[in-house]
Amino acid sequence: MAEHAHAVLAGADERDLTKISEYRAVGGYATLEKARGMSREAVIEEISNASLRGRGGAGFPMGRKLSLVQPPEAAGKPTYVVANADESEPGSFKDREIMSRVPHRFLEGCLIAAHAIGSKHVFVYIRGEYLAEFDVLKAAADEARDAGVLGDVTLVIHRGAGAYICGEETALLDSLEGKRGQPRPRPPFPPVAGLYDAPTLINNVQTLANVPLIIDLGAAEYSKIGPEASPGTVVYSLSGNVQRPGNYELPLGTTLRELIYDVGGGIPNGRQLKAIIPGGSSVPVFTPDQIDTPADFDSIQKAGSFLGSAAIIVVDDRACMVQLALRAEKFYMHESCGKCTPCREGTRWMVNLLEKIESGEAGHADLNLLRNVCDRVEGRSLCALGDFAVWPVRSYIDKYRDEFEAHLDGAGCPYGGESSVDGVMAPVDLHRHLPLTEVPA
Amino acid sequence: MSAPETVTVTIDGREVQVPKGTGLVETALAAGIEIPVFCYEPRLGAPIGACRMCLVEVEGMPKLQAGCTLTAAEGMVVKTAQTSKVAADGQNSTLEFILVNHPLDCPVCDKGGECPLQDLTFRWGPPVTRNTFPKRTFEKPIPISPTIALDRERCILCYRCTRFSSDVAEDDQLVARERGAQSIIATFEDQPYRAPFSGNVIELCPVGALTSTQYRFEARPWEIQDVPTVCGLCPVGCNVDATTREGKVKRIVSRNHPEIDEGWLCDKGRFGFTHLRGGDRVVDPVRKVGQRRYETLSWDEALDAAEEMLRAAGANIVTALSGSETVEQAYGLGKLLRRGLDAHVAVMPEDVSPALDAFRLPLSAIRDAELIVILGDDPVVERAPIVDLWIKAARRKGAEVVESAIGEPGGGLARVRDELGERIRNSERTILIWSGAGGHGGATIAGLAAELGLAEKPGSGAFHLPETANGRGVADGWAAAADRDEADPEPIELLIVSGDEAAANPDVRALAEQAERVLAISMFRGPVSGWADLVLPGTSYLERDGTYVNLEGRVQRLRRAVIPPCPDELAWIAKLAERFDVELSPHPPQVFAELSERCYGGIDYPAIGEMTALPKRAEAVDVPPTPKTAKREAGKGLRLVSYRPLFSGAAVERVPELQFQRPGAEIELSAEDAKRIGVQAGSTVRVSSNGTSTELRARVNRMLVKGVARIPAEHARDLGTHVEVTT
């Protein structure tokens, strides 16, 4: 049985940590004071020593990122902290848990990060559809402001307008600047030229929420949690065909078997496991024989996929992999920003081909073409979205090729009209925008 | 400045040395290798890496890289599609993806034959299509404006047009809407793209998505001829190619002169050419025979009539010039009248001053300035549009731009001297610009430049934005014809009106009232009908050979793009000169050779060539004392400042597609005056003066001095120097 290790979410089961008084009662914002008493370099060193890796998907060491950001004196302009709260990956819902249950811990992390790079400006870019979370976060920010916790730091919470691409850090920065949210060519990377062309630290919510813990415990103590190479906890978002879907904060390296069967209570209705998507809808799929892989950055990557945002999607044997591929690809077609050619045109073409395969009208040539289009999109787009749009489809084809072939030459879908992918990633229609503002009657 | 560090880059096995930081596309070119591009266009600012046409293999990088976003670094090893299979496959895939939704309607597309997408597809693209699905289609063509049509299904979303709109012209009107494969180029709420530089997006478009409504289906690239010439519609003198087919101008495109226009044109220069085919074009000489009746003459009869008029008037002739004549034409007319008839008096289109020659710079130097000071009451874009783009480029690079308030006494000169004098003296790169009336042809700004020590600073200089395209050249030509000055004749036996601009000048019209007879040279009947006794047909800058002098003082060459429907001016002036025993060649090169020594240091006509170099700064700073500004007339109400809008004049009036660009019937008021009078911005006000009144829409402009109102000239026609504004 996996051990629950509450770190980021610590205390949230016992107390209402959305209130600053409650958060202070468990030692909240004391760490900020401690950090502000330390030199910037010392704070950065502590975080570097803790080997904290970014929880947004790429797993980039936060300490390294911090040390790349020029301080304002050297840059000759203001520097910025931007929290990426645009959690949009299908299957991922950890940041909303963190923001709605421990908003102050997240804000404290932002403020410590601001101190570490000498920044006076914190921007939180929150996903537009996260209305309830926005309200909680805003109330917490107001409380913190009223309590004088912010000091001379300006805190801005900016709501996105419903675009997956704005979770990509440079597209997020463009959107935050008021432009069309589209990725920028890199380099320069944000620590060199980010928001308003100034040095910018941009990190995921969960990464920042880990920071108070590191400063509080010290790097040495923090490193004892989880595996040596990537210490700390992670909030796994477990979804799909499991008994108990939800967010579970556990040490990194918990195996997929533990996650699905111990934590998640196994597959419902006596069904069999067919596939595991270990890092959100964009990553290559695992087959059931890979179930003993520990879910940490390195182990998953060694096994051929990515931990990504630690969104574990469980697929049982009712699922048609073509339908699942179509569901994923429609999402990426819908969310492709339109800036670069391969992603914009490739995703649409892939959807066309998948629809043809699902309908039974396709032949082997179409399947081979689809597989080839995947290869021609991968690695050639401006940002990672092009790759994200390829990996699920290509890995489904490669690992479940028989099932794709069973659809061909007039055969049609062997699963018939049964809605076999219920609960596995939301269909694209559910990603359509919610009203961004509620107009009072 | 120290020499920039040089780095060695290996491209396709060829070593090339370039300054560090040179873009990879340019580095490859230096090695004689082309990296194909669509979205990359250095004039639009930083590369965006969107189209993925320029994919190359770079040693040490796992994925293909967009060549356009890379810069040369020491030891870099690059393989382009020429030597790398992976890169070739990358470029092939980019083209395949682009063509998935491109209609391939090349046979009916205006771009076909001069289309980068077509060219690159032939070289790098797939020979067949693997896409079997229906392509995206849209309603077509969509009129982006009366001058630009958009065929959305041809668009490859390179974002060149939107980047031009937001990052160069800064009009922010063309944008991308929607997302992914549904992305479209559009204007906000489908309003027309109304901006002075909109036509540039047609040339920027690497496919046939944005086309000119004037050129649509008019010609194919293999049946046209481009004539390199110079635009004659404003004093900038943008270098253009006039595309002709079967003796007609079909379009005007840029012929990038990096020091003058950097490849941009204003819409007047681009779309104004159809005035050549204006409905009231004068093609035969006509003589007035009744109140408003004219009879057509043969050229022999016309020359007889002109000779008779000249002989009858003798020296009592006044010549009103337009500033649109070539140098040779002004010289020829001058030589005929001054040497043949001793008639020396001319009404010049505007003041010109050689004093500015000591502060001469190419227009491109504006971009490198750290401080730009603009004096005068007219918007720069209305007088010399391209200058506005250079100023915007400078501002984006960090230059500070200081503008005098509109209606400020003395154009704001005294204030600039007091408030900025010290800074300008200490600055290495300051540009002074006079934009508006009252600058005495640049003498005023030259005086300020001399006083502040700009002559010694190679990065600093001064410009005067004249009103006419060749006012300077016309003055040079007229002056070169003879050495005498005469007082105004009394009475005026004959007034010669040379050109439509002179014909539209109210002062010239007043002279005509005094003159016994009027001989007019005009392209159109409209401006001269009813008051000229003899009208000889005029020609356009696109129909003549000769030279123009632009606002930098650069002599540039006009080339005849099409044969005019009548002999050009110099041809019959030479014939007439013969009758007065004045030797005058009808050939511009010979005329130029005659005057070059006196005006332009003896430069050779062929040396002017296709792209002219800027003459060196004049050595001696001989700045006349700043002439006294005429005392302002007192009057009741607000003092009226009016300016000639870019989209006005005889040419623009005859181009139907440009009518939407003409200024609205508006009056600009200062915030204080608007408040005092109780005017809401956007509301209609009554503007009265001299017993006349008109209704105009009010606009508040915070750059206006209290007590001053500004109205575009064509809406201020009958108004006096002061106006009363009531709600």
Q: What is the pLDDT of residue B651?
A: 95
Confidence of residue A230 (pLDDT cuts 50, 70, 90): confident
d(CA B494, CA B520): 10
Asked if A380 and B55 come within 8 Å (Cβ–Cβ), the reply is: yes
Nearest CA in chain A to B155: A341
Give chain A positions within 8 Å (CB) of B52: 340-342, 380-382
Closest-CA distance, B50 to chain A, in angstroms, reads 4
Asked if B156 and A341 come within 8 Å (Cβ–Cβ), the reply is: yes
Q: Is pLDDT of B152 > 50?
A: yes
Asked if A381 is an interface residue toward chain B (Cβ–Cβ < 8 A), one would say: yes
Nearest CA in chain A to B184: A338
- The number of CA neighbours under 13 Å toward the Cβ of B221 is 11
- Closest partner residue to A185 (CB to CB) among B49, B55, B181 is B49
* DSSP label of A340: S
B308 contact partners, CB below 8 Å, separation of at least 6 = none
**Residue predicted with more confidence, A427 or B338:** B338
For chains A and B, CB pairs below 8 A equal 94
CB atoms within 10 A of CB B419: 11
Q: Is pLDDT of A438 > 60?
A: no
Beta carbons of A331 and A392 less than 8 angstroms apart? no
State percent of chain B over pLDDT 70.
98
Q: What is the pLDDT of residue B727?
A: 87
Q: Is pLDDT of A432 > 70?
A: no
Q: Is pLDDT of A425 > 90?
A: no
Q: What is the pLDDT of residue A285?
A: 98
Asked if B189 is an interface residue toward chain A (Cβ–Cβ < 8 A), one would say: no
Give the mean model confidence (pLDDT) for residues A181-198: 95
Over the stretch A290-340, which tens digit does the pLDDT of each residue have? 999 999 999 999 999 999 999 999 999 999 999 999 999 999 999 999 999
Q: What is the pLDDT of residue B622?
A: 66
Asked if B89 is an interface residue toward chain A (Cβ–Cβ < 8 A), one would say: yes
Asked if A183 is an interface residue toward chain B (Cβ–Cβ < 8 A), one would say: no
CB atoms within 10 A of CB A384: 15
d(CA A115, CA A49): 18
**Domains observed in chain A:** 20-222 (3.40.50.11540), 233-316 (3.10.20.600), 321-430 (1.20.1440.230)
Q: What is the pLDDT of residue B631?
A: 63
Asked if A351 is an interface residue toward chain B (Cβ–Cβ < 8 A), one would say: no
Confidence of residue A436 (pLDDT cuts 50, 70, 90): very low
Q: What is the pLDDT of residue A2?
A: 47
Give chain A positions within 8 Å (CB) of B181: 333, 336, 338, 344-345, 347-348
Asked if B180 and A352 come within 8 Å (Cβ–Cβ), the reply is: no
Asked if A382 and B131 come within 8 Å (Cβ–Cβ), the reply is: no
Asked if A376 is an interface residue toward chain B (Cβ–Cβ < 8 A), one would say: yes
Beta carbons of A100 and A133 less than 8 angstroms apart? yes
Interface test with A, best of B179, B185, B397 (most A CBs within 10 A): B179
Asked if A367 is an interface residue toward chain B (Cβ–Cβ < 8 A), one would say: no
Over the stretch B458-506, which tens digit does the pLDDT of each residue have? 999 999 999 999 999 999 999 999 888 777 888 999 999 999 999 999 9
Give chain A positions within 8 Å (CB) of B131: 349
Asked if A180 and B178 come within 8 Å (Cβ–Cβ), the reply is: no
Give chain A positions within 8 Å (CB) of B96: 376
Beta carbons of A306 and A417 less than 8 angstroms apart? no
Nearest CA in chain A to B177: A180
Helix residue spans in B397-524 (DSSP H) = 413-426, 443-451, 471-481, 500-504, 506-514
Nearest CA in chain B to A343: B180
Confidence of residue B690 (pLDDT cuts 50, 70, 90): confident
Asked if B181 and A338 come within 8 Å (Cβ–Cβ), the reply is: yes
Q: What is the pLDDT of residue B284?
A: 97
Asked if A333 and B101 come within 8 Å (Cβ–Cβ), the reply is: no
Selection from A210, A263, A253 nearest residue A229 by Cα:
A253
- Looking at every residue in chain B, the average pLDDT score rounds to 94
Asked if B181 is an interface residue toward chain A (Cβ–Cβ < 8 A), one would say: yes
d(CA B22, CA B6): 10
Over the stretch A1-46, which tens digit does the pLDDT of each residue have? 345 567 899 999 999 999 999 999 999 999 999 999 999 999 999 9
* A231 φ/ψ sector (left φ>0, alpha ψ -120 to 50, else beta): beta
Over the stretch A132-161, which tens digit does the pLDDT of each residue have? 999 999 999 999 999 999 999 999 999 999
Give chain A positions within 8 Å (CB) of B157: 338-339, 341, 344
Q: Is pLDDT of A215 > 80?
A: yes
Asked if A340 is an interface residue toward chain B (Cβ–Cβ < 8 A), one would say: yes
Asked if B290 is an interface residue toward chain A (Cβ–Cβ < 8 A), one would say: no
Over the stretch B705-720, which tens digit does the pLDDT of each residue have? 999 999 999 898 888 8
Residue B343 vs residues A115, A250, B512, B663: alpha-carbon distances, Å: 82, 101, 17, 40
Single pTM value for the model = 0.95
Nearest CA in chain B to A180: B176
Asked if A344 and B47 come within 8 Å (Cβ–Cβ), the reply is: no
Beta carbons of B182 and B249 less than 8 angstroms apart? no
Which residue matches tokens 């020091």? B259
Asked if A349 is an interface residue toward chain B (Cβ–Cβ < 8 A), one would say: yes
Asked if A185 and B69 come within 8 Å (Cβ–Cβ), the reply is: yes
Closest-CA distance, B190 to chain A, in angstroms, reads 18
State percent of chain B over pLDDT 90.
88
Give chain A positions within 8 Å (CB) of B90: 380
Q: Is pLDDT of A96 > 70?
A: yes
Asked if B133 and A352 come within 8 Å (Cβ–Cβ), the reply is: yes
Structure tokens at A103: 């908003």
Over the stretch B101-114, which tens digit does the pLDDT of each residue have? 999 999 999 999 99
- Closest partner residue to A345 (CB to CB) among B63, B66, B98 is B98
Beta carbons of B448 and B414 less than 8 angstroms apart? no
Asked if B55 is an interface residue toward chain A (Cβ–Cβ < 8 A), one would say: yes
Q: Which helix (H) or strand (E) holds A108?
A: helix A103-117
Closest-CA distance, B158 to chain A, in angstroms, reads 8
Q: Is pLDDT of A434 > 60?
A: no
Residue B58 vs residues A189, B63, B81: alpha-carbon distances, Å: 19, 8, 12
Q: What is the pLDDT of residue B178?
A: 92
Asked if A349 and B49 come within 8 Å (Cβ–Cβ), the reply is: no
d(CA B355, CA B442): 7
Q: What is the pLDDT of residue B476?
A: 95
Over the stretch B250-289, which tens digit does the pLDDT of each residue have? 999 999 999 999 999 999 999 999 999 999 999 999 999 9
**Is the bond leading into A103 cis (omega within 30 degrees of zero)?**
no
Interface test with B, best of A333, A344, A369 (most B CBs within 10 A): A344
Residues 504 through 543 of chain B touching chain A, CB cutoff 8 Å: none
CB atoms within 10 A of CB B103: 16
Asked if B48 is an interface residue toward chain A (Cβ–Cβ < 8 A), one would say: yes
Over the stretch A272-281, which tens digit does the pLDDT of each residue have? 999 999 999 9
Over the stretch B214-238, which tens digit does the pLDDT of each residue have? 999 999 999 999 999 999 999 999 9
Strand bridging mode B666-669 / B692-700:
parallel
Closest-CA distance, B53 to chain A, in angstroms, reads 9
